[in-house]
Amino acid sequence: MFFVFLDSQEVNCPIGVHEFERKEGVKLFISVKVQLSHVPDMDHIYHALDYTQLVDIVNEVSSQERQLLETLAADIAAEINTKSSTAIENIHIRIEKPQIPHDRYNAKSCGIEYILNC
């Protein structure tokens, strides 16, 4: 079993329930873990999942405005599944938001995790 992962890609994303969050952008850390359906049988990138492609997908999808982290995670997973040239078992997305507009917030981060079984 092989996994390809991207750990804590930092993005500034126009996301949030509050209009100022979408206007100013919010710092997020996005992690992606993709379980491949099989071991690549040849030593060539075309038979694997290129992790630089994960970076490009995360950056591209997170640049679009939306309100919910859940929607962002589902959109990233769908894009990975669509653009992958290799068979995928599942995609695990973790999105961390280090700051929220709340006067008693003092956690390291909050966020969501999403798993898409392909």
Q: Which domain holds residue 83?
A: 3-117
- Between these two residues, 27 and 45, which has the higher pLDDT value? 27
Q: Which residues of 42-59 are buried (b: 16+ CB within 10 A; e: fewer)?
A: eeeeeebbeeebbeebbe
Is pLDDT above 80 for 16? yes
Which residues have CB under 8 Å from 108's CB, separation 6+?
Answer: 98
pLDDT score for 40: 66
Strand partners for 66: 15
The CA distance from 110 to 20, in Å, is 19
List, for residues 95-113, the tens digit of each pLDDT value: 999 987 677 878 888 999 9
pLDDT score for 108: 86
Q: How far is CA 12 from the centre of its chain?
A: 13
**Domains contained in the chain, number:** 1
Per the prediction, the chain carries an average pLDDT of 91
CA dihedral defined by 44, 40, 29, 111, rounded to 10 degrees?
160
The CA distance from 56 to 63, in Å, is 11
Is pLDDT above 90 for 31? yes
pLDDT score for 47: 66
36-50 average pLDDT score:
74
Instruction: Using DSSP, state whether 92 is helix, strand or coil.
Output: strand
The CA distance from 7 to 31, in Å, is 5
Whichever domain contains 30, its CATH number is 3.30.1130.10
27-56 average pLDDT score:
85
